[in-house]
Structure 1
């Protein structure tokens, strides 16, 4: 008499095929995820650049409306003005949220935390009669 044995589980060949397919899929997926991380850092840095521009413009509008004082108060923060715009020491106080960035008040540079290359916003104080220069550099985020 022949008894039939039921197979339980996978054969070695089936497991090797599945592992090979997963390896091939991973080879294509990992670079895409790395690219998404770079794009996310770049987008966050560009968004911060827009926030810095908006914060400087709002402080300038408030400065004009209040008769051009030496300081203005925004959301409880005292902003020191230079030529009608926030100075390097207080531009970060005009932002509602700069989480994920480190600000160096001496240079006016916001650097994206965790970035391996240049991923920053550079704020230069306004010259007399002009507006501040705000540059976003995401060349090597």
Structure 2
């Protein structure tokens, strides 16, 4: 009389465990880099937001005909310089951005730097120049 096999043999279970271990070892390094990729994407997103805020402020100055001073964007007062760019201050570019949770902002004339608070080093930032209206992204240390 023959008996039917029920379940898996020890060899089959060991082979499955080895295969799962190999898959995990090859996939793990890719998942570790996701944090860095997310931080780079976040800095690029802030840089895009900065460029949009600069364009909107410049357009608002052109529409209103004022050559500097203070403009109103979406009910918020934003200070702009003589070149129609938001100033590098809390009442300038930060007010134009309206919400920078998760970022540390530092102002040193004419530059404002936006660094993520959740990691990275000093070279992981978006930098705004209020004289030229340019935004430069440095994501080497993210």
Q: What is the TM-score with the length of structure 1 in the denominator? A: 0.79
CA RMSD of aligned residues (A): 2.2
SS of the equivalent of 2:136 reads strand
Name the counterpart of 2:38.
40
Match of 2:126 in 1: 121
Q: Which has the larger displacement, 74-83 or 9-18? A: 9-18
Q: How many residues get paired?
A: 134
The answer to whether the 8 Å contact 1:60/1:85 transfers is: yes
Q: Would you say the 8 A contact 1:125–1:133 is kept in 2? A: yes
Moved over 3 A (4+): 96-99
Alignment partner, residue 20 of structure 2: 22
Residue ranges of structure 1 left out of the alignment (5+ in a row): none
Query: Cα distance, 1:47 vs. partner?
Result: 2.4
Going from structure 1 to structure 2, the CA distance change for 1:132 and 1:48 (only over 3 Å counts) comes to same
Greater shift in the superposed pair: 113-122 or 44-53: 113-122
**Where do 1:54-65 residues align within 5 Å?**
54-65=52-63
- Runs of 5+ unmatched residues, structure 2: none
Q: Secondary structure at the match of 2:107?
A: coil
Q: How does 1:87-106 map to 2 (within 5 A)?
A: 87-88=87-88, 89=90, 90-95=92-97, 98-99=100-101, 101-106=102-107
Q: Is the 8 A contact 1:92 1:103 kept in 2?
A: no
1:139 CA drift (Å): 0.8
- Cα pair distance change 1:138/1:52, threshold 3 Å: same
